[in-house]
Amino acid sequence: MNEAELSHLRDLHRRDQLLPLIAAIRASAVASQHAECQFRLGDALRQIGRSADAQESLQTAIGQATGDLRFNAQVSLALLQRDAGQFAASEQTLAQIAAERMPLPGWFWVIRASAAANQEQFAAAIDFLHVAEASDDVDLDEVYLNLAYAYRALEETEESAAYAAKVLALNSDLSAAARQILITLGVDQSSY
């Protein structure tokens, strides 16, 4: 597969032209042997809900790829597992990524926190969110809101309210959700 063909596939993927991307990869005998094509095919299939086919392509890509491509395929597989309700498998995939590659971007830790929270491992989710909080590539309002939810699940009212207040201080689109947390906590909102 030449660079022009790969560039075309990358462009289709970037523009969310998923069905043309899938058709182009499946039409090429060479693409089935190419790790990047397998990743793009698997990710596209994941996004349209073709879980079994997506998992097969992503696992092929993971087996063939190195570096960033392997990382992207592993993250896509973890998202596929999460979306299928396979939270333990998703966390296992994310833990494998963390063992192989450091440092990781903040958004990765938000995804990992979500996997932990889906298994009701709220203390672990909080730890992951604090790692994300220290990163410069995340939306802090999202991190703070997730921290508020996690602390609320642990019945740590003061911490939950403090993070909900941080969301409100950022005046973000997530303010309504933060206010709802304060309401469920029974916190007086007059100072917010």
Residue 8: is its pLDDT beyond 90?
no
Residue ranges of the domains in the chain? 1-102, 105-192
> Which long-range contacts (C-beta less than 8 Å, at least 24 apart) are formed by 54-60?
54/80, 55/80, 60/35
**Pick among 1.25.40.10, 1.10.260.40, 1.20.1250.20, 3.30.56.10: CATH of 1-102:** 1.25.40.10
pLDDT band at 189 (very low <50, low <70, confident <90, very high): confident
> pLDDT, tens digit, for every residue of 17-53?
888 888 888 887 677 679 999 999 999 999 999 999 9
Window from 11-25, 137-151, 166-180 with minimum mean pLDDT: 11-25
Mean per-residue pLDDT of the chain: 93
Contact 178, 145 (CB under 8 A): yes
Report the candidate in 36, 42, 12 with the shortest Cα–Cα distance to residue 24.
Answer: 12
CATH architecture entry for 105-192: Alpha Horseshoe (1.25)
CATH topology agreement for domains 1-102 and 105-192: yes
